[in-house]
Chain A
Amino acid sequence: MRVIIIGCSRLGASLASSLAASGHEVSIIDAKSEALERLPHDFPGQVYQGVGIDLELLARAGADNADVLIAVTDRDSANLVSAQVAREKFHIPRVIARVYDPKAAEAYRAMGLDIFCPTTCGIDYIMSRLGGAK
Chain B
Amino acid sequence: MYVIVAGGGKIGFNLTKTLLDDGQEVLLIEKDPRKFRWLEDRLGQVVLRGDATEVATLEEAGARRADAVAAVTGFDEDNIMICRLVQKVFGVNRVIGRVNNPQNEDAFRLLGINNIINSTRLIYRLVLQEVDACGLIPLLTLKGGEVEFLETVLPPESPAAHVAVKDLILPEQCLLMAILRKEDLIFPRGDVVLLPGDQVIAAARADEVEALRRALLGSV
Q: State the A residues within 8 Å of B (CB).
A: 50-51, 53-57, 75-78, 80-82, 84-85, 88-89, 101, 103-104, 107
Contact = CB atoms under 8 A, between A and B. Distances in A.
Contact of B111 (A54, A78, A88): A88
Helix, strand, loop or mixed for chain A's interface?
Answer: helix
Nearest to B104: A53
A55 B77 contact: no
A50 B107 CA distance: 14
Contact of A81 (B77, B101, B103, B106): B77
Interface residues of B, number: 18
Interface of B: 53-56, 75-78, 80-81, 84, 101, 103-104, 106-107, 110-111
Contacts of A54: 101, 103-104, 107
Contact of B110 (A51, A76, A85, A104): A85
A53 B54 contact: no
Contacts of A50: 103
A89 B106 CA distance: 10
Contacts of B84: 84
A82 B77 CA distance: 8
Contacts of B55: 103-104, 107
A53 B56 contact: no
Nearest to B51: A101
A83 B203 CA distance: 36
B54 A103 contact: yes
